[in-house]
Structure 1
Amino acid sequence: MATLHYILKIDIIKAKNLAIKDKNGFSDPYITVNVGDESYNTQVVNKNLNPVWDASFDYKVNPEHPPSEIHFTCWDRDIFGRDYMGEIFIPLDKFCGGGHIGYQDQSNTPHWYPLISKRKKESVSGEVYIKIGFVDKDNEFLDHREWTSIWNRMNNLKIEESSNTSSDISTAVEDTMKIKPERQYSYSQANDVVGLTFVEIVRAIDLPAVRNVTGLEQNIGDGMEEIELSLKLHDTTWADKNKPKLNVRLKYVPYEHLRIQFWRALAKIYDSDENGVLNFVEVETMLNSLGSSLTNKTISSFFTRFGKDPEKGELEFSELISCLEEWLSDVSRHSADSSGEESDNEHLIFMKECPICHRPELTHLSEADIITHVSICASNDWTEVNKIVTGDFITESQAQRKWLSKVITKVGFGSFRIGANSANILSKNRDTGLIEEEKMATYVRLGIRLLYKDKQRIESKTTKNLLKKLTDQQGKKFDKPTSAEEIRHFIDFHGLNKEEILEPIESFKNFNEFFYRKLKPDARKCDSPEDPRVLVSPADCRMMCFPTINDATEIWIKGDTFTVSRLLGNEEMGKEFEGGSLGIFRLAPQDYHRFHIPVEGTLSEPFEIPGEYYTVNPMAIRSELDVYCLNKRAVSYIDSPQFGKVAFVAIGAMMVGSIRFTSKPNTYVKRVDEHGYFAFGGSTVVLLFQKGRMLFDEDILENSREPLETLVKVGMHVGKATIHFK
């Protein structure tokens, strides 16, 4: 029975009378299914208390280890997180006791299963219409007696066959209200699992002369013990000729040792000068990547414990690891509450989802168990730890606060509001008119935290080296073929429209190729194609605009040394744009990252200006640091008959290793022609116009005064040329 023949087919058809979770009197329900080690999700049905999903999932059953139950959880999707709507447990021994368990069996019909609540304060109501059944792809015509025999063999049970099928299944439905969930294993200090055993197949000898297939993985590591196993031949015709043996190597690694290896791998990423020690900034940044809310006082205690000055001292990896493990031993009993929310005390780590295996719902585990889980996932390849830096899960310490899950209308969230210096960015979608919160990657939050220290620390060699190292590492990582595995998760997380993408997803050789993907020709159209006086957006982006550069510096750009001349890298050219207008087009990592021509005219040769790798996040732009004038950038000019001279400044950001141009200089270009693209990361285009040559659209100006960014797309009308002034 080692061969996997059987499929457990799960149909989630519909639900009725679900609880109201949103202020509009509806919910946005979906179902998660957990069976064995697998999990599945239905689609979300918006604004509906009687949703129809018609979703079907196939779980491949290992006959030697069949699942004991199926766990269904109903959720209401919100902008941030989700609301609990109840759950269902179907114990398979009860379901299979009726005998009619084949999916094709006419007596196996869907049933209504009531949602129950395991959370005292949650309001739950409704039922879900579900059908489950087994399928044997090799034999589709098994009757109920044969299926009963198969189930008995899988479970080594002697279940009496019952003729009253409907009665037994009804009993199973009622029992879902009493059965508590069972798990094959869990990461908890309360159980007997204390470590892992690694087994590596080394070689096999004296096998029969038949076709043999093997797949050997890379060495797990040193210190493995080799043993020789005799193989028993099932085909006796070879017994006299061959005495096959199998050599394997094994080693046992306690969880604590796995975590130590994880800490070392993570520390190496943040060792900016690669000297084997970490200073305060490097330690703090490393912890921020985990969503840590440890205070400066706590981090300083790691240094003073070894008699070192937090401002000038450096911790060896072993010293830091001993502090972190001691912290885990003190707080490992604590975990999130039943709603997945953290209390407001200090935490070493906060993750909603594993960045490597993407297992959800980590918030109910203790901190030690979360670290252990990620360590296990990374143990076959410790370079996987790098995914923590670029993962898309929310890790800012603010994300642990209860206000994040409480959506308050337009004004913002808790004490955070439109125009505030919040790490959670709000923007207005021009198409829908709705205020949206931007999903922010971990590395952006790290950049923000670094910027929001005092200016002296920002401009320190450590910070610059750290940002450069992270950027270089990420560029190399996303050029590797293995990075292509991240594409589908990235698409799903950000809800990208796959229909717009020109090339098939499978054609991208690495993540970077996908990142600067091309779109289909009709995906972005030019507004007012016959009117060259219309200014169009050069990118899919979050836009801010200001009638004068003085307005921009008063409302938005707070860098204390910002000037147009510094931005352009040319004193004389800066004078041409004195008193002119300015547009800022910020691209988030999830945006289409090719930029286009906004006005028609003659294009100049681009002029590259070397620089740093600071984030261009709004919070950074409004800090003391002059990000636009310090970052790596490239300047080109368009001499337009309608707009005069227009400066096009492409600005790189944290994790953007390159700015590449695809346009031909010294040629006449038209609106929406492709100009170039950014490699991975956030980035920005700044457009400068001469005084009196154009006016931005009033709705975008109004949002900018709030100040609030506006979501626009390539080719969208964002301004218009005025009467020519001499």
Structure 2
Amino acid sequence: MKRANTNELNAEASKVNGLCLKVVAIRGRNLAAKDKSGTSDPYLVVTLGDAKNATQPVLKTLNPEWQTSLQFPVTGVNSLLLDCVAWDKDRFGKDYLGEFDLSLEDIFCNGHTEVEPKWYPLKSKRPGGKKDSNVTGDIQLQFSLFDPLELAASPAQVMEKFRSLTGADIPETNTPTRQPSNGEEDGDEYFDEDEEPSDETDDPSKPENIEKRRRKLRLKGLRKKKQATAYEFNSESEVVGIVFLEIGKITDLPPERNMTRTSFDMDPFVVASLGKKTYRTRVIRHNLNPVFNEKMIFQVLKHEQQYSMSFTVIDRDKLSGNDFVASTIE
């Protein structure tokens, strides 16, 4: 089984006297086909708090076998919401395959620190075109929680430390209420697409139903908090800044004879890179003065503060392969 930065993450968790969450990304099934071959090159990105890890892509399959162990430090309430996003790796960029999020409180709600493998359905949570809305399939994950400083700690001791770190045993006493803004109500503010409709026979006074509702409200609160602090920085975060970038237009590209020798033009697109992070624009067909007007966002990590942005113009050619046109560094 492949391991991703295990020693480094264990050391980080030990330094802050926290716990370690081990996520085993086992496999996916029935994922959406994003490539013209009818397959995808899927990989999974998992985020917990400020820590992010990813599997390696598995080429040309809709049923990838990753068998990859990823480890994350659990240090506080910010480590309660686990995000999983599946992507299809392309030569330039990536295609969205779907996502889901999980609360650690729900994962370990029965008090066991070892959880059996389980399938989680992918959902589309990103507005976009037809390609983004094509989301199918499930991801199989397995979870375990341990103390890297006390490997012999019992499950009860680990769970007690988990509750102490995250406040997971503190009930939500206040039910959120919707407040109109400027005379208009935000109809989606407390909508939970994962919430099942209530059964008329459900007794809201039953302890299990009270606990179920409490966990749902807590999960909503974690999602809202994550959205509200998306661009906040602190001393523990590796992210030190955000670059907001807009690719406007290109003028006077050199005319190139196409493969059919019927005209002199190209199908240009732009690739923007910062370190290992790479994004690309859409392709503008048959145009030497393309207008893109596309926005991109790059997170800048501590070790990337002295990095330069690179921009490359590529001419897409389905028959002979993409052609390099020009590049620049800022």
Normalising by structure 1, we get a TM-score of: 0.28
Is the partner of 2:157 in helix, strand or coil?
A: helix
Structure 2 stretches lacking a partner, 5+ long? 1-13, 172-207, 252-267, 282-293
Q: Are the counterparts in 1 of residues 93 and 279 from structure 2 also a CA contact under 8 Å?
A: no
Counterpart residue number, 2:85? 73
Question: For residues 82 and 185 of structure 1, what CA distance do their matches in structure 2 show?
Answer: 25
- 1:113 pairs with 87, 111, 120, which one? 120
**What is the distance in 2 between the residues matched to 1:293 and 1:5?**
46
Q: CA contact under 8 A between 1:14 and 1:129: conserved in structure 2?
A: yes
Report if the CA contact (8 A) 1:36-1:184 is conserved.
no
Q: CA deviation at 1:14?
A: 0.6
User: Any idea what the Cα deviations from partners look like across 1:564-613, whole Å, max 9, x if unmatched?
Assistant: xxxxxxxxxxxxxxxxxxxxxxxxxxxxxxxxxxxxxxxxxxxxxxxxxx
Bigger strand share: 2
Residue 56 of structure 1 deviates from its aligned partner by: 0.4
The 2-side partners of 1:111 and 1:49 are apart by 18
Q: Alpha carbons of 1:196 and 1:295: their partners in 2 closer, same or farther (altered >3 Å)? A: farther
- Matches of 1:24 and 1:181, distance apart in 2: 40
Larger RCO (CA under 8 A, 6+ residues apart): 2
Residue in 2 that maps onto 1:10: 23
Offset at 1:7? 1.0
Distance in 1 of aligned mates of 2:28 and 2:165: 32
Instruction: Say whether 1:59 aligns with 2:78.
Output: no
- Cα deviation for residue 132 of structure 1 reads 1.7
1:186–1:22 CA distance, 2 compared to 1 (3 A): same
TM alignment of 1:20-59, pairs within 5 A: 20-59=33-72
| Residue 95, structure 1, aligned to residue 107, structure 2 | yes
Tell which structure's C-alpha radius of gyration is larger: 1
Report matched runs for 1:534-553 at 5 Å: none
Change (3 A) 1:45 1:359: closer
Contact 1:29-1:77 at 8 Å conserved across structures: yes
Provide the rounded CA distance (Å) in 1 between the counterparts of 2:234 and 2:168: 30
Equivalent of 2:319, from 393, 410, 415? 410
- Which letter does structure 2 place at the counterpart of 1:35? L
**Aligned residues of 2:92 and 2:279 also touching (Cα < 8 A):** no
Tell me the CA shift for residue 142 of structure 1: 3.8
Q: Return closer, same or farther for 1:25/1:3 CA change in 2, 3 Å cut-off.
A: closer
**Equivalent residues in 2 for 1:648-663, closer than 5 Å:** none
Contact 1:30 1:42 in 2 (8 A): yes
CA contact (8 A) 2:23 2:71 kept: yes
Change (3 A) 1:181 1:79: farther
Structure 1 residue 36, shift from structure 2 partner? 1.5
Residue 145 of structure 1: SS of its match in structure 2? helix
SS for the counterpart of 2:165 is: helix
Residues 13 and 295 of structure 1: is their aligned pair in 2 closer, same or farther, counting only changes over 3 Å?
closer
Aligned AA (2:28): A
Counterpart CA distance in 2 for 1:360 and 1:3 is 32
Deviations 1:227-252 (A, max 9, x none): xxxxxxxxxxxxxxxxxxxxxxxxxx
Q: What residue number does 1:84 align with?
A: 96
- Report the residue type matching 2:110 in the other structure: G
Q: Report the secondary structure of 1:446's partner residue.
A: strand
CA contact (8 A) 2:146 2:158 kept: no
Aligned-pair CA distance for 1:158: 2.4
2:3 counterpart residue number: none
- Work out whether residues 55 and 68 of structure 2, in 8 Å CA contact, stay in contact via their aligned partners in 1: yes
Aligned-residue offset at 1:119: 3.2
CA shift for structure 1 position 157 = 4.1
- TM-score, with normalisation over the residues of structure 2? 0.57
Match for 1:410: what amino acid? L
Q: Which amino acid aligns with 2:90?
A: D
Residue 671 of structure 1 aligns with which residue? Answer: none
The CA distance in 2 between the partners of 1:12 and 1:157, in whole Å, is 25
Distance 1:377 1:4, change over 3 A: same
Contact kept in structure 2, 1:11 and 1:54, CA below 8 Å: yes
> Does the CA contact (< 8 Å) of 2:51 and 2:73 recur in 1?
no
Q: Does the CA contact (< 8 Å) of 2:42 and 2:57 recur in 1?
A: yes
The corresponding residue for 2:136 is: 125
Identity %: 25
Residues 242-279 of structure 1 show CA distances to partners (whole Å, capped at 9, x for unaligned) of: xxxxxxxxxxxxx9xx99xx9xxxxxxxxxxxxxxxxx
Shift of 1:136: 1.2
How far off is 1:159 after superposition? 5.4
Distance in 1 separating the partners of 2:53 and 2:80: 17
> Does the Cα contact within 8 Å between 1:31 and 1:75 map onto a contact in 2?
yes
> How much has 1:78 moved relative to structure 2?
1.8
Q: Which residue of 2 aligns with 1:300?
A: none
Residues 117 and 196 (structure 1 numbering): CA distance in 2 closer, same or farther, change over 3 Å? Answer: closer
Alignment partner of 1:182: what SS?
A: helix
1:683 is matched with which residue? Answer: none
Whether the 8 Å CA contact 1:114–1:128 is kept in 2: the answer is yes
DSSP-derived class of the 2:43 partner: strand
* Structure 1 counterpart SS, 2:97: strand
Shift of 1:352: 5.2
135 and 75 in structure 1: CA distance in 2 versus 1, 3 angstrom threshold: same
Once the two structures are superposed, what CA deviation does each residue of 1:636-695 show, in whole Å capped at 9, x if it has no partner? xxxxxxxxxxxxxxxxxxxxxxxxxxxxxxxxxxxxxxxxxxxxxxxxxxxxxxxxxxxx
Q: Is the 8 A contact 1:96 1:151 kept in 2?
A: no
Provide the secondary structure at the position in 1 that maps to 2:164: helix
- Asked if structure 1 preserves the Cα contact closer than 8 Å seen for 2:17 and 2:149, the reply is no
In the alignment, the residues of structure 1 paired with residue 272 and residue 81 of structure 2 have an alpha-carbon distance, to the nearest angstrom, of 24
- Counterpart CA distance in 2 for 1:36 and 1:139 is 23
1:354 & 1:183 partners in 2: Cα distance? 24
Whole-Å separation in 1 of the counterparts to 2:124 and 2:295:
23
Does 2:178 align with 1:134?
A: no
